Amino acid sequence: MSSAASTKPVSLVTGGAGFLGSHLCDRLLSEGHRVIAIDNLITGSIENIAHLAGNPDFRYIKQDVTQYLYIPDALDYIFHMASPASPIDYLELPIQTMKVGALGTHNALGLARAKNAALLLASTSECYGDPLVHPQTEDYWGNVNPIGPRGVYDEAKRFAEALTMAYHRFHKVDTKIVRIFNTYGPRMRLRDGRVVPAFIGQALTGQPITVFGDGSQTRSFCYVADLIDGIFRLMMSGFHEPVNIGNPHEMTIKQFAERIRDRVAPGAEIVYKPLPVDDPKVRQPDISRARRELGWEPKVSFDEGITRTIEYFRGRVTAAA
């Protein structure tokens, strides 16, 4: 290793071949880090990091983070991003979702302690469940059904947060917790079950746009570059309590469906199906803490972000045709 390389900070990204993890690898490399990505590709894709092949500052390891993690390198930062994260994923992979939240987080925290590295846990707005407080602030404890079909994801992340704070308090590990709200952008899987790729994919392929429920439930959509910027700022901060990162601009699912239809397939039919069990009725982050502690707020407009995302999916649909 050259002396120049040895002076670079080293970051480990679990779930590094996933949607968010791969964008985070890009950001870390652009910040001058050496990056090690770990992913078992259960929901990630090697395509997401293919452009990094040959980069001397990037290394990929195919491994399940619920197994023992052996990393001989010195580590400065660990970003624990690994987890199934869409409704289809955690309904099809319930045990794996629980294991990565519990065993995977335990392994990542143990590695952070052994390496004297800072660790950031990618948590989720799903910790708030079907919230009774709106918008959601970090001091809200949530309204979660622990035995419902979504509970495997919600409770895995809630446990992961508790374990992270235990390592911080008991072992003095430098930990951060980000609660990620709905995020979208290139590298999402076309059929991952989340509303952005679902609506865009249906519109691009001439299918009716499927809305669950009456469409009055709300979501707040943050473009991936903004989300990654918030995550990076949080890791580099000295703040240890959970921080919401998301776009506070709220819209109904019906409004979102109409905007996608008007942009991609004017005249496309919007059809309605029953709302899934425990589907949140509202979702909007209060980002006061992120503004105050990190100087962060989203900068990419919905129109700009959704245009980039539609073009990405247009390319995917064309390639698959």
Catalytic residue numbers read: 153
Region of residue 172 (left: phi > 0; alpha: psi -120 to 50; beta: else)? left
The two tokens of residue 256 are 């979102």
Say if residues 161 and 121 touch (Cβ distance below 8 Å).
Answer: yes
| Burial of 169 from C-beta contacts in 10 A (0-12 / 13-18 / 19+) | exposed
Say if residues 149 and 277 touch (Cβ distance below 8 Å).
Answer: yes
- Report the alpha-carbon distance of residue 214 to residue 288 in Å, rounded: 31
- Report the alpha-carbon distance of residue 202 to residue 268 in Å, rounded: 9
- Report the alpha-carbon distance of residue 197 to residue 189 in Å, rounded: 7
Instruction: Tell me if residue 36 falls in helix, strand or coil.
Output: strand
E strands in 246-295? 250-252, 270-273
In order of 50, 198, 253, 279, the CA distances from 203 in angstroms are 28, 9, 15, 23
Q: At what angle are helices 302-320 and 253-264 packed, to 10 degrees? A: 60
In order of 128, 130, 180, 319, the CA distances from 282 in angstroms are 10, 7, 15, 35
Say if residues 213 and 279 touch (Cβ distance below 8 Å).
Answer: yes
